[in-house]
Amino acid sequence: MVGTAVMNAAFDVQAIRAQFPILSERVHGRPLVFLDSAASAQKPTCVIEAMARTMQTQYANIHRGLHWMSERTTAAYEGARDQVAGFIHANSRREIVFTRNSTEAINLVAYCFGSMLRPGDAVLISEMEHHSNIVPWQMLRDRAGIELRVAPITDTADIDLDAYEALLTDGHVRLVAITHMSNVLGTITPAQTLAEIAHRHGARILFDGSQSAVHRKIDVQALDADFFVLTGHKIYGPTGIGVLWAREELLEAMPPFMGGGEMIESVSFARSTWAKPPHKFEAGTPAIIEAIGLGAAIGFMQDIGPEAIAAHEAELVAYGRDRLGAMNALRILGDPAERGGVLSFTVDGAHPHDLATLLDHQGIAVRAGQHCAEPLMHRLGVHATTRASFGVYTTTDDIDALADGLERARQMLL
């Protein structure tokens, strides 16, 4: 089977792969097949060089300095904010708050928006959430006495829309916090429908875009979201930088997350007043170099184009489902109406950790375990899965290597 024959000829995957130095590495003497992008994507040369160039030629702390280096680095840092705003179609750069990652962004909302909730109010999540979109709300429940509700999924791994709406009808839900794309199942949730239902019943809605931002065009206005979070390391950028987008009126109403420098307007021993958003939520020296790297990653993705990326990954998902689905004893979990570039599966008689180890010795990197979604594992009736996840550099040859590697691993284990 010749995998590359089915790829979109207009999408030059080999030219894209050439921009990722790590893909020329060998693992255990074999060419690297990287199928773990959902955990963290690899970095193109433009990101590596943007960060190195900043450190080599202009690094200084930002906003406070009046010298050339500080002004130049401030412009690059704030330019990255503008790039993020354009990338997700925000109304204003003032709606873009830099955080360390999606986890911190969700915790910020849980703490700051959550501080405005009262006993009797509720937050609604779903069965397919990452721990980062479960634990902060449990902490809010325990701290503030709010109710935490959980919307079920169907056996095909879609949100059960009837049950979802039923949980909103009493009017007590103040916030829905739900994944835009499952990191386990690849399910793309019907965001506009979820938002319309939430708003009709008086709730705000937060979308966890940690996975979706790398696979789909993101337009927070078209989604009718109130909050949206993403993380840099999954969109070909560095670790240590994430984004909270929120409607400006919400950022104005919410109290700060942390106190310190930069987030203040004035300070006396009697009282302090806060800066305007987004700086109100960015206490202390931020991740300057990482933000600049994030801007470079966004530029890289925009040069390819979100439609081209989505089409490429749709072909990979279809090819992967056919190739893996034809294998004996292998079961792909979920059959959602729309799936991003993630396939989780089990193999009868083989533990996912054993499969991942044997694949690694063949140069193939996958993820095995519960994927920080233990409640979802219980819902699916499994202890763990093996997960293959795709990026712009993934080819059908990579999927063929995975299938062949799984067959060899299975023969060794069974």
What residues are annotated to the active site? Answer: 372
DSSP 213-239: GGTS---HHHHT-SEEEEEGGGTTS-S
Report which secondary-structure segment, H or E, holds 387: strand 385-389
Q: Classify residue 349 by burial, with Cβ atoms within 10 Å: 0-12, 13-18, 19+.
A: exposed
Q: What number of residues does the chain have?
A: 414
Contacts of 414 (CB under 8 A, 6+ apart): 349, 350
Q: Categorise residue 310: left if φ over 0, alpha if ψ from -120 to 50, beta otherwise.
A: alpha
Q: Are 211 and 234 in contact (CB under 8 A)?
A: yes
Q: Are 392 and 16 in contact (CB under 8 A)?
A: yes
C-alpha separations of 384 from 153, 183, 291, 345 in Å: 18, 13, 34, 9
Report which secondary-structure segment, H or E, holds 324: helix 306-325
Amino acid, res. 393: Y
Q: Are 179 and 130 in contact (CB under 8 A)?
A: yes
- Smallest Cα–Cα separation from 380: which of 162, 214, 182? 182
Tell me the CA end-to-end span of the chain in Å, nearest whole number.
25
Amino acid, res. 329: A
d(CA 203, CA 180): 17
Work out the number of other CB atoms within 10 angstroms of the CB of residue 48. Answer: 17
- Smallest Cα–Cα separation from 153: which of 331, 333, 332? 333
**Which residue do the tokens 């930002």 mark?**
62
